[in-house]
Structure 1
Amino acid sequence: MFEILSSPDAWIALLTLTFLEIVLGIDNIVFISITANKLPENQQRKATNWGLFLAMLQRILLLFAISFLVGLKAPFYHIDTSWLSMGISGQGIILFVGGLFLLYKSTSEIHEKVDMPEHGEEELKSKKISSLSKAITQIVIIDFIFSIDSILTAVGMTNGIGNKPGDALILMIIAVVVSIVIMMTFANPIRKFINQHPSVQLLALAFLILIGFMLIAEAAHLSHTKVFDQEIGAIPKGYLYFAIAFSLLVEFLNMKMRKKREMKNKTVNE
């Protein structure tokens, strides 16, 4: 069953795929962190771990149903007018709805945090998620949206590896399990860091808005959407992750400067 692991090419593919799953899971960790931080403190770690564990099970089940996911790419309805042309598919609808959900969730969270001083304590408490199951449900739903893209990417990377039909599936399952375990290790420290730094919270929400737009653009691209004979292209993920990394670097430098300034002011006051 695991003869495929004796091949050097399989190990290279496994390491690459695991790294890719971790990178593609960054946006998932950000969403999980923001959602879990709205729970009471004693339930936040549990929500993060359960959310990632259920995400792992969900991705493994989707790997076994890969033929169903591939079938979702086929358009089932076409629109062809003088200015708009597109083929609507199941995968496109899932990505489009997921993008809209991220835009709504992120903008509402930003609005809540920006207007926080104007809210009373009771009103702020009412906006928190009181149910662990409700938080986990939100996490599982958004992970399903993120899983579509990462799993189809994994299928493309492992295509042709091994002599048996199940070899590629074994590699993908191992990569998913290893990447989720690594994300579980770092997810809670990331959640605490985001919760302790309001500016990073806003930056993380801004990332989710970018990802929401990316999902909508990808849905349009997969549907071969043309507006006035101009086809909508997919946004390269490398650009998106570079923008996120650059923004985080700038924010960390700002945090370091603020910390030095606070220490200097404290020394002067003493």
Structure 2
Amino acid sequence: MSWLFALITLTLMETVLGIDNIIFISILCGRLPESQRKSARNMGLAAAMGTRLILLMCINFVMSLTNPVFNLSDVGVPQAAIEALVPGPPGTGHGAHGTEEGEAHEPVKPSPEAVAEVNGVSVKDLILLVGGLFLIFHSIMEIHHKLEGEEDEEEGTSKAANYWGIITQIAVLDLIFSLDSVITAVGMANQIWVMVLAVIISIGIMMAFAGHISDFVDRNPTIKILALSFLILIGVLLVAEGIGTHFNKGYVYFAMAFSLVVELINMRVRVDKMLPKKRKKPQPVAI
């Protein structure tokens, strides 16, 4: 029954990691006419599933993308700069010797293995780096449009022309998210069919809730800004992964979940203030 545990775990992981994908698709589709949004969302999620399945079928090729194709030191990056990118021991940066007061602190040299990991640049690193920068740039531009009030008012030809442009943007980000997701999945399961089934189930779950999430984001501007901020953080994580610095994504997801709860409470307070207060009935005066 180990396959069942792996299937459940992978399905949950794919669904959770797909949240940022849903948010990105929802925000992009929000710029389309109402009649095109559902088809664009479904096409985007179907493209995500197709990309994941293709990558799983070519798993040997995908894993080869993690092999270094060149080194930072070969293109003139100083060794000190490479070592600076290596995460240090917890609580000490790169680490330091000396615990007694007045004792000199000596920097701890990172291990050769850690330096080699940062020094080597793979195709996966380049894809994550470019994808992260694209996500950061696009999210910042969306926030700028929102703050400046630059909403697309035109319908018809201009919107239809943007439809395939938006689908193309979704497909590009699908490749980034899918690559990271598939490589993570390979480390959690050995059977290809388990990974394929987990992808299909998770995409089905996302399709079922994507419309509700998209409508909720479109109706609440503050939630949209929060979602775009979340995408900027995800972009920063992708860039960090691309340069060999690994962070636990759980911290980001927890921070955003906490921010979402706070914003939902604020929304409830604002709604309560807008509702007319019930007039108190005059109490009879005792004689």
- How far off its partner does 1:134 sit? 1.7
Q: 1:40 aligns with which of 33, 37, 41?
A: 33
Determine the structure 2 residue equivalent to 1:90. Answer: 123
Matches within 5 A, 1:193-212: 193-212=216-235
Matched residue SS, 1:88: strand
- 1:177 and 1:264 mapped to 2: Cα distance? 48
Matched residue SS, 1:151: helix
- 1:83 and 1:105 mapped to 2: Cα distance? 32
Larger Rg: 2
- How far off its partner does 1:84 sit? 2.7
Matched residue SS, 1:234: coil
- 1:262 and 1:130 mapped to 2: Cα distance? 40
2:98 maps to 1:75: no
- 2:10 and 2:144 mapped to 1: Cα distance? 37
Question: What amino acid maps onto 1:71 in structure 2?
Answer: S
Determine the structure 2 residue equivalent to 1:218. Answer: 241
2:139 maps to 1:142: no
Matched residue SS, 2:31: coil
Determine the structure 1 residue equivalent to 2:210. Answer: 187
- 2:263 and 2:208 mapped to 1: Cα distance? 23
TM-score (norm 2): 0.79
Determine the structure 2 residue equivalent to 1:230. Answer: none
2:267 maps to 1:236: no
Q: 2:194 aligns with which of 171, 176, 193?
A: 171
Determine the structure 2 residue equivalent to 1:157. Answer: 188
Any idea what the Cα deviations from partners look like across 1:7-57, whole Å, max 9, x if unmatched? x11111101100000000000000000010111110001100111012111
Any idea what the Cα deviations from partners look like across 1:178-233, whole Å, max 9, x if unmatched? 00011000001100110000000000000000000000011111xxxxxxxxxxx3
Q: Which stretch has the larger CA shift, 127-136 or 44-53?
A: 127-136
- 2:48 and 2:69 mapped to 1: Cα distance? 28
Q: Does the Cα contact within 8 Å between 2:11 and 2:202 map onto a contact in 1?
A: yes
User: Could you list the runs of 5+ residues in structure 1 that have no partner in the other structure?
Assistant: 1-7, 160-167, 222-232
- 1:216 and 1:124 mapped to 2: Cα distance? 34
Q: Does the Cα contact within 8 Å between 1:38 and 1:129 map onto a contact in 2?
A: no
Q: Which stretch has the larger CA shift, 123-132 or 100-109?
A: 123-132
Matched residue SS, 2:71: strand
Matched residue SS, 1:249: helix
2:105 maps to 1:112: no
- 1:129 and 1:68 mapped to 2: Cα distance? 36
- 1:185 and 1:73 mapped to 2: Cα distance? 33
Determine the structure 2 residue equivalent to 1:52. Answer: 45
Determine the structure 2 residue equivalent to 1:15. Answer: 8
Q: Does the Cα contact within 8 Å between 2:47 and 2:174 map onto a contact in 1?
A: no
User: Could you list the runs of 5+ residues in structure 2 that have no partner in the other structure?
Assistant: 83-118, 280-287
- 1:114 and 1:42 mapped to 2: Cα distance? 26
Q: Which has the higher helix share?
A: 1
- 2:187 and 2:72 mapped to 1: Cα distance? 28
Identical columns (%): 45
- The alignment of Structure 1 onto Structure 2 pairs a total of residues equal to 237
Determine the structure 2 residue equivalent to 1:247. Answer: 259
- 2:160 and 2:32 mapped to 1: Cα distance? 5
Question: What amino acid maps onto 2:168 in structure 1?
Answer: T
- 1:29 and 1:194 mapped to 2: Cα distance? 11
TM-score (norm 1): 0.84
- 1:220 and 1:83 mapped to 2: Cα distance? 15
Question: What amino acid maps onto 2:121 in structure 1?
Answer: I
Determine the structure 1 residue equivalent to 2:164. Answer: 133
